[in-house]
């Protein structure tokens, strides 16, 4: 039987990790994911898991230890955030390239500087082209559910790629909410036993991991990674389907909230989607046809499906919690990718980008409402006056 518990987002992730009981966890605490590692270290100390917990001296070493353990055939998990992820950088790419199905809890936080420890999405957007599968979570429940599904996605024989599960730093990582925690046995049955393709510890069949790979074969290995990402599109939905049936959830590539008959919509990830739902309900009560699209899967990017889901709208606003400096109009990464998807798939509707919440700046319902009101005007005129708005920045 599942039970409801009051957990922070970090605790929810640690709980999933306890139930999954991975073979190896190597992590280095960095705010705001520290709690996850602390809780998990307690589980290790109390004997509630049989995990080998490797205390490392830095995040670079944490990810390196994860790659080594994964090459040995272990089920491996880690957690990080912001500058910790930045320090892992080199090995983040190697984990994907060596096809290590590592699952990482990534609590989204601004990259310094100036020094900041609060929420935005500049950390994860830095790894968007690293070859990892990237999932977003609105709240602790989704972080918990995504971590469990991530294990199955990563380890699928057609995928074998690492997965990062994101949630918003402090906003959900440290906020206590009601989380439905499933029965330990049910989670264990769902994730199953990892059967690695190869193990570097198989001394009877010696193998080499991470050799020199020059102009003659490196390119072919990159092509294989593309294939794995393409398989992931199917596998993510298969795993979600099984998860939804077993645990009575409704996961897909994205969540559409009151979108079917909407005229305008906001596209936003993670916790702000929760705020936007409240705003949508308020505006709907006033008879305004507004909706929300909350992407769950960012890598692989579901371009066709997103374009299809937004096709009927009269105006769309993307809300980005990071800036792609120097990109077209200094927009946000989600906007850049989504507008490309809309154009390629023949959806020609007015779109605008709203940068918000950098460095943990609060995003208020009234501010989200102002975005909807802007878009309702755009829907009437058919004209976007400002492509990128830096919402609530002081002039």
Partner 1 sequence: MAQLKGWREIPIGGVILEAGNAVEYKTGGWRAFRPVFGQAQCIHCFQCWLFCPDSSILVDAENEKMVGFDLDHCKGCGICASVCPVNAKVIRQAGEKVNRDDPRLCIRMVEEGKAP
Positions touching partner 1 (CB under 8 A) are 97-100, 160, 197-198, 205-211, 213, 216-218, 220-221, 223-224, 227-228
Q: What is the dihedral of CA 259, 262, 263, 265, to 10 degrees?
A: -30
- Min dist CB 94 to partner 1, Å, is 10
Q: Which is nearer to partner 1, 57 or 220 (CB)?
A: 220
Contact predicate 369/282, CB 8 Å? yes
Q: Which is nearer to partner 1, 207 or 246 (CB)?
A: 207
| Residue whose C-alpha is closest to residue 167's, from 85, 107, 123, 255 | 107
**Which tokens in the block code for residue 332?**
């946000």
- Min dist CB 160 to partner 1, Å, is 7
Q: Which is nearer to partner 1, 129 or 217 (CB)?
A: 217
Three-state SS at 57: coil
Spatial strand order in the sheet of 290-295: 254-257, 290-295, 264-267, 315-320, 351-355, 388-390
Q: Which is nearer to partner 1, 204 or 261 (CB)?
A: 204
- Min dist CB 299 to partner 1, Å, is 18
- Min dist CB 154 to partner 1, Å, is 14
Q: What is the rounded distance in angstroms from the CA atom of residue 179 to the CA atom of residue 143?
A: 10
Q: At a CB cut-off of 8 Å and minimum separation 6, what does 357 contact? A: 119, 120, 272, 321, 363
Place of tokens 């020059």: 214
**Residue 260 buriedness (CB in 10 A; 0-12 / 13-18 / 19+):** exposed
- Min dist CB 219 to partner 1, Å, is 8
Q: Which is nearer to partner 1, 227 or 241 (CB)?
A: 227
Q: What is the dihedral of CA 3, 9, 13, 14, to 10 degrees?
A: -90
- Min dist CB 196 to partner 1, Å, is 11
Q: Which is nearer to partner 1, 198 or 241 (CB)?
A: 198
- Min dist CB 249 to partner 1, Å, is 31
- Min dist CB 76 to partner 1, Å, is 15
Contact predicate 154/133, CB 8 Å? yes
Q: What is the rounded distance in angstroms from the CA atom of residue 337 to the CA atom of residue 352?
A: 13
Q: What's the sign of the alpha-carbon dihedral 86, 200, 42, 143?
A: positive
Q: Which is nearer to partner 1, 216 or 261 (CB)?
A: 216
| Residue whose C-alpha is closest to residue 159's, from 232, 211, 83 | 232
Q: Which is nearer to partner 1, 135 or 160 (CB)?
A: 160
- Min dist CB 216 to partner 1, Å, is 6
Contact predicate 337/297, CB 8 Å? no
Q: Which is nearer to partner 1, 28 or 132 (CB)?
A: 132
């Amino acid at each position: 039987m599942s039970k409801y518990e009051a957990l922070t987002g970090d605790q929810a992730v640690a709980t999933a990790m306890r139930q999954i009981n991975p073979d190896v966890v190597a992590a280095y605490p960095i705010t705001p994911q520290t709690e996850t590692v602390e809780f998990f270290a307690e589980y290790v100390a109390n004997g509630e898991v049989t995990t080998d917990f490797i205390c490392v001296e830095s995040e670079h070493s944490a990810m390196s230890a994860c790659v080594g353990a994964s090459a040995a055939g272990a089920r491996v998990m880690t957690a990080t955030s912001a500058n910790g992820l930045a320090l892992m950088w080199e090995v983040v790419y190697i984990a994907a390239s060596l096809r290590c199905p590592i699952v990482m809890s990534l609590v989204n936080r601004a990259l310094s500087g100036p020094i900041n420890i609060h929420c935005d999405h500049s950390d994860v957007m830095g790894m968007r082209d690293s070859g990892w599968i990237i999932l977003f979570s609105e709240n602790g429940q989704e972080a918990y559910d995504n971590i469990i599904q991530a294990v199955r996605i990563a380890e699928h024989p057609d995928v074998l790629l690492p997965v990062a599960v994101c949630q918003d730093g402090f906003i959900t990582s440290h906020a206590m909410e009601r989380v439905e925690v499933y029965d330990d046995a049910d989670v264990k049955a769902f994730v199953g036993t990892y059967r690695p393709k190869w193990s570097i510890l198989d001394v009877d069949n010696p193998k080499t991991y991470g050799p020199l790979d020059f102009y003659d074969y490196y390119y072919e290995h990159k092509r294989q990674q593309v294939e794995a990402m393409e398989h992931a599109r199917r596998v993510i939905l298969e795993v979600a389907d099984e998860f939804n049936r077993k645990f009575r959830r409704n996961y897909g590539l994205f969540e559409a909230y009151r979108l079917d008959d909407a005229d305008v919509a906001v596209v936003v990830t993670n916790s702000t989607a929760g705020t936007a739902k409240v705003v949508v309900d308020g505006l709907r009560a006033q008879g305004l046809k507004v909706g929300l699209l909350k992407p769950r899967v960012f890598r692989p990017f579901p371009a066709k499906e997103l374009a299809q889901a937004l096709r009927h709208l009269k105006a769309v606003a993307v809300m980005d919690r990071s800036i792609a400096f120097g990109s077209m109009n200094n927009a946000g990464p989600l906007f850049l990718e989504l507008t490309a998807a809309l154009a390629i798939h023949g959806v020609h509707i007015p779109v605008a980008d709203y940068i918000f919440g950098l460095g943990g700046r609060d995003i208020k319902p009234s501010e989200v409402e102002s975005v909807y009101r802007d878009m309702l005007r755009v829907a009437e005129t058919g004209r976007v006056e400002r492509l990128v708005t830096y919402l609530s920045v002081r002039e």
